[in-house]
Amino acid sequence: MQKSLVVAALAALFLAGCEDETPEVTERIRAIKTYTVSQHASGRSRKFPGAVEATDTSSLSFEVSGNVTKVLVDAGDKVVAGQELAELDAEPYRLDVQSGEADLGSARAGFNEKSLELERQKALFAKGWISQAALDQAVAAFETAKNDVDIAQSKLSRLRRDLGKTVMRAPFDGVIATRSVDPFVEVNRGQALFEIFAEGALQIALSIPETVIEQINLGLPAAVNLSSFGACECTAVVTEIGSSAETANAFPVKATLLNPPTSVRPGMTAEVEFLLGIEDTASNFLIPIDAVAAGSQSGQPINLSSYVFVFDAANSTVQKRAIKIGPGTGSFVEVQEGVEPGDVIAAAGVSFLSDGLKVKLLSE
């Protein structure tokens, strides 16, 4: 009987404990991507088409004529400075060097002979056995022989240089862009056989209208869109501005690409976007267009027709703030009122946010 009462009491306690337990509800905190307000909207956007080209490029040719015996690279090959690219038949130049060496030997022998003759004539003149005219003749012969040696030495140096020029080498590290030669073909001095691009260093060639060129200056940054990559988020900076107009009164401008994707190649088309300066926008800022939500808040002026969510680090919440927006510049929009430098705003997914919502940063 007592045992039954104990069991019943324990069961009652167990059931009471179960009734007191309530399932714990875990609060879900949304992670947000943020953007820190800092970039001034200093002007209006203008876009210009262009083409990617290598910053350093060179057409390669032999400095001597001859018959090509070897072509060791093809278009698209990567090369290093000093690497052999092609060879000419060197035998004719080797024979010329041998002939030049013989001529130099003959000139030196003649010089030695005239040198000894001059010493002999000087000794005879000192004894009064020959005239001044005879001594002057010996001196002139010596000087002529000396000049013959100098000429022969210079000729031999040129012939040896020509022999060395029968091998074409890469002037710098790069990529062979084009090849216009095959073995067993006779080529002329200066005939372009290869086009080589310096690897990695790329720029965009642009034509800027005369109505805009005054607003373009060296060091001006630009956003770049490469048609082959879509929105690649590439950037460039102006490094060269032509001093005279070319076709259609447009000025040539070069903008160097900063850290482009490795697969970008010369010849690709590009669109370059400049933010041209206008003084009255110096106090405005650029923010990502995805950070802006449409609509208005009650009690706000009608021109503050959009808003952003500003992150409050003190309590990890976002505060809804009305802004006044201006014109867009690509993937950014100009904010004329409502944000300050240093504000951290939600940069995506703003339609899922609300005023005072507790959030965490995406990196947390």
If DSSP codes are grouped into helix, strand and coil, which group holds residue 6?
helix
Q: What is the mean pLDDT of residues 70-90?
A: 95
- Who has greater pLDDT, 278 or 157? 157
Q: Helix, strand or coil for residue 78?
A: strand
Please state the domain count of the chain: 4
pLDDT attached to residue 199: 76
pLDDT at 153: 96
Quote the pLDDT of residue 275.
76
Between residues 108 and 300, the one the model is more confident about = 108
Alpha carbon of residue 359 to chain centroid? 40
Please give the pLDDT value at position 160. Answer: 96
Query: Residues 262, 212: one domain?
Result: yes
Domain enclosing residue 233, as ranges: 43-55+201-277
Residues 141 and 157 grouped into a single domain: yes
3-state SS, residue 77: coil
With 0-12 CB in 10 A as exposed, 13-18 as middle and 19+ as buried, what is 17? Answer: exposed
Nearest to 346 by CA among 304, 290, 286, 284: 290
Per-residue pLDDT, averaged over 102-111, amounts to 96
* Interatomic CA distance for residues 120 and 142, integer angstroms: 12
Interhelix angle for 132-164 vs 91-126, to 10°? 160
**Confidence grade of residue 28 (pLDDT, cut at 50, 70, 90):** confident
**Arithmetic mean of pLDDT, 207-219:** 89
Residue 71 belongs to some domain of the structure: yes
From the list 168, 176, 171, 216, the residue with the least C-alpha distance to 54 is 176
DSSP 23: P
Examine residue 21 and state whether it is found in any structural domain, yes or no.
Answer: no
Confidence category of residue 302, pLDDT binned at 50, 70, 90: very low
Specify if 206 maps to a domain: yes
Residue 301: CATH number of its domain: 2.40.420.20
Of residues 228 and 246, more confidence is placed in: 246
Least confident of 36-45, 216-225, 337-346, 347-356: 36-45
Residues 6+ apart with CB under 8 A from 244: 251
Rounded to an integer, what distance in angstroms lies between the CA atom of residue 282 and that of residue 279?
A: 6
Is the residue at 5 inside a domain?
no
Domain boundary among the residues 277, 296, 318 is at 277
- What percent of the chain is predicted at pLDDT more than 70? 83
Query: pLDDT band at residue 94, thresholds of 50, 70 and 90?
Result: very high
**Which class for 249: exposed (0-12), middle (13-18), buried (19 or more C-beta within 10 A)?**
exposed
Asked whether the predicted pLDDT for residue 162 surpasses 50, the reply is yes
Q: At 103, which CATH number?
A: 1.10.287.470
Query: Is residue 16 pLDDT above 70, yes or no?
Result: no
CATH code for the domain of 70: 2.40.50.100
Out of 143, 164, 185, a domain closes at 164
Taking residues 246-264, report their average pLDDT. 86
* CA dist., res. 255 & res. 218, Å (int): 9
**343-364 pLDDT, tens per residue?**
999 988 898 899 999 999 876 5
As a 3-state breakdown, the chain gives helix, strand, coil percent values, each rounded to 5, of: 30, 35, 35
Same domain (yes/no): 234, 272: yes
Query: Of 248, 277, 306, which closes a domain?
Result: 277
Q: Are residues 172 and 71 in the same domain?
A: yes
- Quote the DSSP letter at residue 281: G
Cα–Cα distance between 286 and 280 in angstroms, integer? 14
Say if residue 183's pLDDT is above 60: yes
Is residue 284 pLDDT above 60, yes or no? yes
The mean per-residue pLDDT over the stretch 35-52 comes to 78
Q: Is residue 104 part of a domain?
A: yes
* 104 confidence band (pLDDT: 50, 70, 90): very high
CA atoms of 123 and 130, how far apart (whole Å): 9
pLDDT of residue 72: 96
User: Is 192 in the same domain as 64?
Assistant: yes
Contact 281, 275 (CB under 8 A): no
The predicted model gives 110-116 an average pLDDT of 95
In this structure, is residue 9 part of a structural domain? no
- The answer to whether residue 233 sits within a structural domain is yes
What per-residue confidence (pLDDT) applies to 301?
46
Looking up residue 263, the CATH number of its domain turns out to be 2.40.30.170
CA–CA distance, 80 with 182 (Å, rounded to integer): 21
Residue 131 domain flag: yes
